[in-house]
Amino acid sequence: MGGKASLYMVLGFSLIFTIVGYNFSSLTRRAVKNEVNYYYETVAHDITVSGANLAANKIFFDQTWDDGYNDLAFNGGTIDVEVVNLGANKIKVTTVGEFKGAADTIIIWLQPSSFSKFAYYMNIFPGSLFFYTGDTISGPFHTQQKLSVKGRPVFWGKASAKNGLQLVKNTPATDPEFNGGFESGVDIPLEWDASIAKAAAYDNGKVFANSSGGKIEVKLVFNADATITFKTSTNGGTTWTADSTRDLATFAPNGVIFIDKGNVTMEGTVNGRYTVVCDQSSGTGTGNVYLTNDIVYHDPLVWNPSNHRFEVNGNDMLGIVCSNNIIIKNTAANQSNINIHAALFSYKGGLSIENPNSFPAAGSLRIVGGICEYQSQTTGILSGSTIIHGYSEKIYFDERFKDDSPPYYPTTGKLEIVAWYESTWIPNSFE
């Protein structure tokens, strides 16, 4: 029995070592295979990223480019790119990269970069102006000149300037707070092609124009029930048409209301998404927007104390765009605060108050949205630290404007990538 037991023991150990050896060998083979597969998948992913960047670069230089790529040889693999125009200059780019049987997919979505993405854009930064302690910009800021600061102003979004940062020496020392970072050398020229919004208004919006070719004056009141009340004058405001009220859905289906060679006076409660555009004629005295009272959203705003911002609930959105100035009129309603819920764009002027030296001290000017202006204008006059004319200005950025904008709002002329999805987590709703 001892001999047989020894034989069984030897056979048993031989079987055990054979199985263990096979498992170790199999584990080694699987590890090598996994490493090879990982390498193939990584290279396929890198090829796909390269293809997406190649396509994006082509589109940045030529926004009409839609040729794509078909079996483009790259780094031992191939790239396929499909470019689809989704309308309104939005472009979808689908890139598939392959390498030795491994494949990856990336979808990117590009759209025009809108000036509405700024809480405050100032083309010309006057030499006498600076942001000071107590000044707060709640979203992105940009100037085409030098950003001048004194004390400790706070910038919650990214701040940028074409010509750098100027620290005005002071006691205590100037120490601006850039919570979103600061970047110098950024060039974003103030550009606007009014013909784009004009064509949209003629196509499926609303156009106010003087049939005789002269200028036109328009008065608009947005009503909370999604209607608009309006009247016009073609003789400089001497006489006016009777008030007319229309449903906005049929008045301006695509949301664009265009005043061709004139001025517009407006106020009210906006229910929906609209852009009011006021273009100038070759003469003077046109292309201006006058605000006679609050212009606010129908949907409620909620103050968020944690980030010191108003959160806009619902779909209401307004753009106010003009060639010249946006002027707050010296009306009884405006002599006790004014609220503006909109993205404001002034191509050759800025936001100002009517006759600053005679405008009474009127509390606060509160903008929920953003402002883009050619040059900063007067909205308040101080005597020491006391407002004696106009308003103290408070700008709260509408976070929705980071990747959305009112209809046909002016763009920077450049595309930006607003979404980048990879194959392992593409949502079914992405179109």
| DSSP sequence for 390-429 | EEEEEEEE-GGGGT--STT--EEEEEEEEEEEEGGG--TT
346 shares a domain with 269: yes
Q: Which of 106, 110, 100 is nearest to 75 (CA)?
A: 100
Per-residue model confidence (pLDDT) at position 16: 64
Judging by DSSP bridges, how do beta strands 77-87 and 90-99 pair with one another? antiparallel
Judging by DSSP bridges, how do beta strands 77-87 and 69-74 pair with one another? antiparallel
Per-residue model confidence (pLDDT) at position 213: 86
301 shares a domain with 245: yes
In a domain, 77, yes or no: yes
**Chain-centre distance of CA 386, in angstroms?**
34
Q: Which of 289, 406, 293, 249 is nearest to 342 (CA)?
A: 406
In a domain, 121, yes or no: no
Q: Give tens-digit pLDDT for 218-270.
A: 999 999 999 999 999 999 899 999 999 999 999 999 999 999 999 999 999 99
Per-residue model confidence (pLDDT) at position 392: 84
420 shares a domain with 350: no
Those residues of the chain that have pLDDT short of 50 are 425-431
Per-residue model confidence (pLDDT) at position 12: 63
Residue 43: CA count within 13 A, CB half-sphere: 15
* Whole-number Å distance between alpha carbons of 95 and 107: 6
Per-residue model confidence (pLDDT) at position 13: 58
Q: Which of 427, 359, 425 is nearest to 387 (CA)?
A: 359
421 shares a domain with 404: no
208 shares a domain with 71: no
211 shares a domain with 66: no
In a domain, 234, yes or no: yes
In a domain, 171, yes or no: no
In a domain, 187, yes or no: no
In a domain, 421, yes or no: yes
How many Cβ atoms are within 10 Å of 76's Cβ, its own excluded? 9
Domain that holds residue 293: 192-409
Phi then psi for 199, rounded to 5 degrees? -65, -40
In a domain, 72, yes or no: yes
Per-residue model confidence (pLDDT) at position 30: 61
31 shares a domain with 77: yes
Per-residue model confidence (pLDDT) at position 321: 98
In a domain, 172, yes or no: no
269 shares a domain with 249: yes
* Whole-number Å distance between alpha carbons of 255 and 257: 7
N residues, the chain: 431
* Whole-number Å distance between alpha carbons of 200 and 44: 43
365 shares a domain with 421: no
247 shares a domain with 108: no
Q: Which pair of structure tokens corresponds to residue 281?
A: 């004629």
CA angle 94, 98, 100 (to 5 degrees): 170
94 shares a domain with 196: no
Give me the number of domains the chain comprises.
2
Q: Which of 317, 340, 320, 341 is nearest to 404 (CA)?
A: 317
Per-residue model confidence (pLDDT) at position 426: 40
Question: Does a cis peptide bond (omega within 30 degrees of 0) precede residue 407?
Answer: no
Which amino acid, one-letter code, is at 356? P
359 shares a domain with 243: yes
Per-residue model confidence (pLDDT) at position 24: 53
**Chain-centre distance of CA 55, in angstroms?**
23
